[in-house]
Chain A
Amino acid sequence: MPLLEVRDLARRFGGVSAVDGIDLDFDEGELVSVIGPNGAGKTTLFNLISGHDRPDAGSIRFAGREIAGLRAERIAALGIARTFQHGRVFANLSVRDNVLIGAHTRLVPVRRAALPLIGPAIELLLALLPTRGVADQQRALDREVAALLALFGERLVPRLDEPAFSLSYANRRRLEIARALMLDPRLLLLDEPTAGMNESETAEMLRLIRQLKQSGRSILLIEHKLELVMQLSDRVVVMADGAKIAEGPPDKVRNDPAVIEAYLGHRAVGETAPPVAVESRA
């Protein structure tokens, strides 16, 4: 059974179909990239999977369970974490607190307090008077934060107690990934993790994503830098105008005329243009 199974997914804004009948299968441990020109509907697809938007039609099954139209917080609790295209860190929270938010669904006071009405009261009580279990978990989480941030070398560790608004753009993107990993997700959605990064930062991000893949993470990636996509992906899905126009291993997709046309706009060039043209466009 695939980890994620998307069928006939559609979302319209006014008269425009941002996502138009997408099918997608995704197995545990895979790394699949979604590419396509701007406005192809990639981020909308992510928003639908993560529950930040509701589909007009179609189904999304995650680990055998229908999640289309569920609220974002429910979907996160089921094990899908995401980052955002333009970077959304909690500006006034420290780096440590930002990452700890990722562990929210795992917290003892939150898990103990699922009951309606009385639940929030229990959560408040456990916040004000932490039991031994709560305190132990907090210490364990602090160690986990340290281990996670070590993935990024010396980028974030020295800034543990700095507010996120003081971080550089690239560091905010890294922080976002650390926060998503803290959820220990079964599926990680990365929306353009290297946007705005220079070459060496991109190479660093490539190494990190490869490391995550090797440790068994299932990753769905939106990325414009095709070189990175070609190196990392097990499979590539190409979207244009809300529809899937190609899917397959990187090498095959790279030479697909439909893909080249979608990127360059007309077939005549696409057929004769060398594959490099795709990359230079990106």
Chain B
Amino acid sequence: MNDFDYVRPASISDAIAAATEPGAAYLAAGTNLLDLMKGGVTRPRRLVDVTRLPGLDRIERLPDGALRIGALVRNADLAHDAEFARAYPAVAEALLSGASAQLRNAATAAGNLLQRTRCSYFYDAASACNKRQPGSGCDAREGENRLHAILGWSESCIATHPSDFCVPLLALDAVVEIEGRGGRREIALENLHRLPGDAPDRETDLAPGDLIVALRLPADARNFSAHARYLKLRERTSYAFAVVSAAAALRIEGGVIRDARLALGGVAAKPWRARASEQILAGGKPDAGLFRRAAEAAVTDAKPSGDNAFKIELARRILVRALTLAAAGTPARMPALPASPFSSVSGALHVA
């Protein structure tokens, strides 16, 4: 790990001033950042510790019915907040399907949004990676790439965004509140992450010094609480990143889907909203044929970036399964294996 200056500002404005310097990075829990620094993948010259900034660790219901999640709320605290889990069950399920209990106890809400790709060529300082070192090339293109992107990728970069949390947040129209040198602004989560194009090193819309202070779920995000699921296929049952995941949220009245939200994870450099599928679902009867048509529409533009054509079919199937589970209703209790397609009835063994 490279040496760095450590500063712990007492106010948001001091933090922004300290982090605007070239080479500075914000430190919250550090569960991703320290790992990257240990591997020499990132080498910040200054760490600006935001963990003591006041007022960023609260979950608040706003007067207009929206929910505001402070940037420093820990993943585990958010997922286990009973009112939060009741109102936004797919978000809670996504959080609990990610990482391990230890990491969820430390990792923060804003940090989850800003975690870096898990592409092994990005992680390996000896490999060519346009994201890590612009212009150096992309060893993933001809390498081990069965888990890489099928949507929105470019010749420069085929990495995926690893977050589970972001997938249902995106489906529910989450908004990101940012403080920066120019004051406070907010952007839709959909516009936070960028597709790689020819500049995969520019991963987000954040400028130097910009600090995410909160996430907001709009009032109508709680309308889906009765029919919302997150489903995530992994290469092992727990403690693994998604091969493909999906968040499905439906508002069903009188046997008809009035409103549908759908997003994919593990398929692109950003969480992927399936708006065309949502339009197909709206007004329809929740059945297998409709779900298959919606799933097909989500992957119309998908193409393999390597040995990963299977992920397109997998995405279709995960979408159909997530929609089927959402239509069946949000379970009364969080499944024993959150988001797992192998989830069993409580108390039963998933392995004999």
A and B are partners in one complex rather than unrelated chains: no
Where the two chains meet, the residues of B that have a C-beta atom closer than 8 Å to any C-beta of A are: none
